[in-house]
Structure 1
Amino acid sequence: MHANARKNRIEAEERLKEYDLFCDTRAGDLGSSIRSSSVAKQELEARISKAEGTIQSLSRRLQEAISGIESDEANLESVTSLRNKEKAQFESAQKDLTDSAESMQQAVRMLEKASKGRGKSGLLQFQEAPDAQATINALASGATGDPNGLRFLRM
């Protein structure tokens, strides 16, 4: 029994040594794993911090871009509105000028037609009628913006 107890004690001491070795190895492995995990954690935290800074920077740039787009859209709307108003004014002025030019051409044709029947004397009578000529000149200058408005009628 004594030999049996000694044998059991020796086996128990060997198992205890193996267990101590296992615990020491396991503790070393876990310590190494903890240290490498801590380093990895710090690196990840640094990357997260850098990414947050990038996000903030990009958010500011995005907000500036959005503000710029909104401003550009407002300017475009304003310019488009102004362009449409100017186009309408131009078309109205062009219509008035075209109507005036057509009226003047019709008046010239009528005067030429009337003067053909009278020969040269009709032209002389026209030149001698300053009121009629002044009226035509006034109409022509109003249509062309040219005080010598009849130049507009030359073709």
Structure 2
Amino acid sequence: MALKLRGELMGLGSIVRLETAEVSGLFVVVARGAFRPDTERDDVVPRYLVAPHPYGEAPDQETFPILADAIEEVVFEGYTNAADAAFLDDLLDQMQNGRRATKPARRFAGALTAIPETPDGVNNDATAEVARDPFIALRRLADQEDRRKRP
């Protein structure tokens, strides 16, 4: 019998709120997979690697795995499409039938994109704010959510 995912697998970049004895706050999903808690049963649960918001994966911040039931609230759901469904189908197939041989990931020697400079003479406060922090809109949303939750 084929393995079945219990629940939905969120997209990468999803923002979740965790409230446990160990951690509290917003976290971003940086990787995902599935976990089979009981080998006698055919159901698996979503598993995520999360990093603290707004830092993401940074050398001075800890990333850690969680199961879907640890999520207190989904603040923002990341983008998904048909490729995500194919990823999940392949993941479940490998969990049931064993891993397949894969090629090592390609390593990039330099930047994949050039970051343009701000033209001289442009003094737009909004542009400057986004240049300093490209996630400013998401941070403001998170701050609003935090203020709304406080007593």
What TM-score, normalized by structure 2, do the two folds share?
0.18
Structure whose residues are more often strand by fraction: 2
When Rg is computed on C-alpha atoms for both structures, the one with the higher figure is: 1
Output the TM-score relative to the length of structure 1. 0.18
Higher-helix-fraction structure? 1
The higher relative CO (CA closer than 8 Å, separation ≥ 6) is in: 2
